[in-house]
Amino acid sequence: MSKIIECENITHYYGNRLIYENLSFDVEQGKVLGLLGKNGTGKTTIINILNGYLKPRSGVCRLFGEEMEHLSPLTKSKVGLLLEGHVQHAYFTVSQIEKFYSAFFPKWKKEAYYELLKKLQVLPSQKLSTMSCGQRSQVALGLLFAQDPELLILDDFSMGLDPGYRRLFVEYLREYASAENKTVFLTSHIIQDMELLIDDCMIMDYGRLLLHKPVKEIMHHFKRYRFTRPGERVWKGERLYNERIYFDGRGVKDIFVDDRHANVRPGRPGQGEHRPNYDRHDRVMNDQLFKTFYNNLKKEPFEDDRMALLNTALANSDFTSAQCLQVTKLYTFDDDRMAIMKKMYPRIVDKEAFFTVIATLTFSSNKDEMNKFVQNYGRR
């Protein structure tokens, strides 16, 4: 399999500050490589080196076998580059900017552009000037796909995307790259969902490469532990990578790791153990867990019992707008659906997408009421 990207012994400094020292890696055709790390660890620097915008102190980079300083026009046409995810022509609508860019690319595929934006619920008539940062990022990504490049280089592609839309895009990019045999090099400081997308992973720290391995190998050896305090709930049978956690209603009862009993008990602050602080998006129910939760809700014959189950879930988990929408579909009348929306909205992580839930209400007056509720909630 041919190597699309080759970097050999890259060393670079900003002043006296070391960014890389003898960094080497390659990306084979059809593979997706993710460069992950905190802000300031040099992710954008390697993007600039790959595109010839920056010359390293030492070392060599090649794209399609050609050194960066001497890329032919043909090779340059094979590369699609996304820097910081924004388009500048804010006075265009979504459809107008597609027509503008199509004139510059002979292999332009507008279907790829509109397919992505439809999936992400961006309307052709929307003006870029009225869009959020995340929506403009989506337009930029769609324009990149329409160019039909053989190599996609994406710098912080998820910038501005909320968790729900980020996951949609990750799934779409995975399907697109696989179906079209595209090679992808991307950077991100958000690790969530990356195991669904990338084949190989590089994790950077300041001045050094911490890890470079296939994702399957990382996930095979990765362990994640969750501890609860008395009164908190962990869903029975929830899988956390290689772990199975069971509970007795008062906290974790037993933890099994790779089928070996770990005999771990939850601790309390000040007693030598503590409960880790997770990023708030770690609390979102995964698909398998939500399916179990939803089926349990559906089976409850009495409304009081259903509400008790929902309240328990809301006390310990966050939800996406799509998950909220599915819960509201258990109810026929607007009043019941609105009660669920108001109850779940504080725990929705992708509030930018909540309009999709409100849109399912039957009457305009009820939609107006929910929109006012959302607006007033944002002022609290």
* 125: CATH: 3.40.50.300
- The number of beta carbons lying within 10 Å of the beta carbon of residue 203 is 17
Backbone dihedral angles phi then psi of residue 202, each to the nearest 5 degrees:
-120, 130
User: Which residues touch 379 (CB under 8 Å, ≥6 apart)?
Assistant: none
In terms of pLDDT, which residue wins out, 133 or 349? 349
Please give the pLDDT value at position 324: 95
The arithmetic mean of pLDDT across residues 339-360, rounded, is 92
Residue 21 and residue 104 share a domain: yes
333 in a domain, yes or no? Answer: yes
Does pLDDT of 199 surpass 70?
yes
Tens-digit pLDDT profile for residues 216-256: 887 776 655 555 444 444 444 343 433 333 333 344 444 44
The arithmetic mean of pLDDT across residues 289-315, rounded, is 88
Taking the C-alpha atoms of residue 176 and residue 190, their distance in angstroms, rounded to an integer, is 21
In terms of pLDDT, which residue wins out, 88 or 136? 136
The arithmetic mean of pLDDT across residues 123-151, rounded, is 86
Tokens 């910038």 belong to residue: 159
Question: Percentage of the chain surpassing pLDDT 70?
Answer: 79
Residue 291 and residue 268 share a domain: no
CB of 224 closer than 8 Å to CB of 255: no
CB of 7 closer than 8 Å to CB of 23: yes
Q: State the Cα angle at 172 between 222 and 62, rounded to 5°.
A: 75
Please give the pLDDT value at position 246: 38
Backbone dihedral angles phi then psi of residue 164, each to the nearest 5 degrees:
-65, -50
Does pLDDT of 162 surpass 80?
no
How confident is residue 143, by pLDDT bands cut at 50, 70 and 90? very high
Taking the C-alpha atoms of residue 50 and residue 312, their distance in angstroms, rounded to an integer, is 50
CA dihedral 124, 126, 128, 133 (to 10 degrees): -100
Which residues form the domain of 65?
Answer: 3-221
Residue 165 and residue 217 share a domain: yes
Give the pTM: 0.58
The arithmetic mean of pLDDT across residues 209-215, rounded, is 87
Instruction: Reduce the DSSP state of residue 67 to 3 states and report it.
Output: strand
CB of 281 closer than 8 Å to CB of 163: yes
Residue 116 and residue 242 share a domain: no
CA 318 to chain centre: 16
Tens-digit pLDDT profile for residues 36-88: 887 778 888 998 898 888 889 999 999 999 998 888 999 998 999 887 656 66
Domain boundary pick from 221, 237, 253: 221
Residue 103 and residue 135 share a domain: yes
206 in a domain, yes or no? Answer: yes
**Total domains in the fold of the chain:** 3
